[in-house]
Structure formats: C-alpha cells, structure tokens
C-alpha cells in the first residue's frame, strides 16, 4: 500500500474509533441520566418503605415505623406469629375498609434479612451498585431485574397503592423505559 493510501486508511480508522468512543460516552451519559429516573422511583415511599436498613418496615408517605412493631423475619415474610399475609391480602381492600386499611398485592413481603436491598438514604452511586450486585439484588441478572420492575405484581402495586397513599410519582411505563435504557447502556453508576 502506498504511503498516501495508508495515511488515508489510518485517518479513516481514527475517525471511526473517535466516533465510536464519542457514541459510547453519549450512551453512558444517557444511561446515567436514565438511572436518575430509576433512583427517583426506588427512593419513593412505595418502594423504600420495604427496602429498609433495619428490620422494621416503614409505612405511609412519611416513612414512619410500621405499627404493631412488625418485623422483617428471616425470610422477609414477617416474624413468627406476624406474617405479612396476616394483614396484607393479595390485593388492596375495598374502600369500605377505610383509607388506612392494609394495602395488598400478591406475595407481599420485604427482602429477606440476608439480602435487604436497602434503598433508603443511599446516594445515587451507592444505590446503583446495590442494584447491580447479584449479592445484594436477589441474585438477579440485568434481564431478570428488567422483568422484575416491569411485571412483578408487588412492584406494580406502587402505582396503585389504594387508600390515601400517593402512587409512585413517575409513570410505570416511563420507569421501565428508563430502567431498560440504563441496562442497555451497561448499567453505569453516577459519580456520586
């Protein structure tokens, strides 16, 4: 190959590499922005009231300790004699039970004690790392996480919580799109 032709080829490859690097940087930045929407949802009271650092779930929009000294229990389904399903049915109770009636969804529970998946008071970067780490996310792959946030009935309850509870402020479809963008972008974490 002639020196001039070689220089043209090398310049073309350099342009392709630079374009690719710029596209990756843009994709990463977009994925980090998408994670901000994910963080907003996960740190809403509908999610963080059960994703707690201790063993007593929280309730209401104010995140007050659960009445009756309810405790997580080893499996996340409540302490012996106070199983979550004793009060939380598979769906919200009708309005005739009052606005403070226990909410309900299938499989009502907290994460188990050995994998708490804490969302409360975590900076975005730390929350991101918790969510990505199978040792802290229930052993889920990125694809399983997407399926979980898109289809799990307990997760979906956050958008139809019943009573006077505020639903998650970000529409569910928007949350799922943002979650998928974050996963497709390689699950990058914010700097802080």
pTM for the model stands at 0.85
Q: Which domain holds residue 121?
A: 35-184
Sequential pLDDT tens for the chain (192 residues): 676 666 665 555 555 554 444 445 668 999 999 999 999 999 999 999 999 999 999 999 999 999 999 999 999 999 998 999 999 999 999 999 998 899 999 999 999 999 999 999 999 999 999 999 999 999 999 999 999 999 999 999 999 999 989 999 999 999 999 999 999 999 999 998
- Given 3-state DSSP classes, what are the helix, strand and coil percentages for the chain, each rounded to the nearest 5? 50, 0, 50
Opening angle at CA 28, ends 24 and 32, nearest 5: 170
Contact criterion met (CB below 8 Å) for 82 and 68? yes
Answer yes or no: is 191 within a domain. Answer: no
pLDDT for res 1:
62
Domain count, the chain: 1
Q: Which token pair is 54? A: 């201790």
Answer yes or no: is 135 within a domain. Answer: yes
Answer yes or no: is 19 within a domain. Answer: no
Answer yes or no: is 92 within a domain. Answer: yes
Q: Burial-class residue 80 by CB neighbours within 10 Å (0-12, 13-18, 19+).
A: exposed
In terms of Cα–Cα distance, which of 123, 128, 129, 127 is closest to 192?
123
Answer yes or no: is 30 within a domain. Answer: no
Answer yes or no: is 13 within a domain. Answer: no
Answer yes or no: is 190 within a domain. Answer: no
> Distance between CA 159 and CA 21 in Å, rounded?
38
């Amino acid at each position: 190959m002639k020196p001039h032709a070689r220089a043209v080829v090398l310049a073309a490859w350099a342009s392709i590499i630079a374009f690719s690097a710029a596209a990756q940087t843009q994709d990463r930045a977009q994925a980090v922005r998408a994670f901000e929407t994910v963080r907003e949802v996960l740190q809403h009271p509908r999610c963080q009231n059960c994703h707690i650092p201790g063993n007593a779930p929280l309730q209401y929009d104010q995140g007050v300790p659960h009445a009756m000294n309810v405790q997580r229990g080893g499996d996340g389904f409540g302490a012996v004699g106070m199983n979550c399903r004793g009060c939380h049915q598979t769906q919200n109770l009708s309005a005739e039970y009052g606005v403070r009636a226990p909410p309900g969804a299938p499989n009502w529970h907290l994460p188990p004690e050995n994998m708490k998946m804490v969302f409360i008071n975590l900076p975005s970067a730390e929350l991101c790392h918790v969510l990505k780490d199978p040792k802290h996310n229930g052993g889920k792959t990125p694809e399983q996480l997407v399926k979980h946030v898109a289809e799990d009935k307990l997760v979906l309850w956050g958008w139809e919580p019943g009573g006077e509870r505020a639903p998650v402020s970000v529409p569910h479809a928007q949350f799922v799109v943002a979650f998928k963008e974050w996963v497709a972008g390689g699950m990058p974490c914010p700097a802080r």
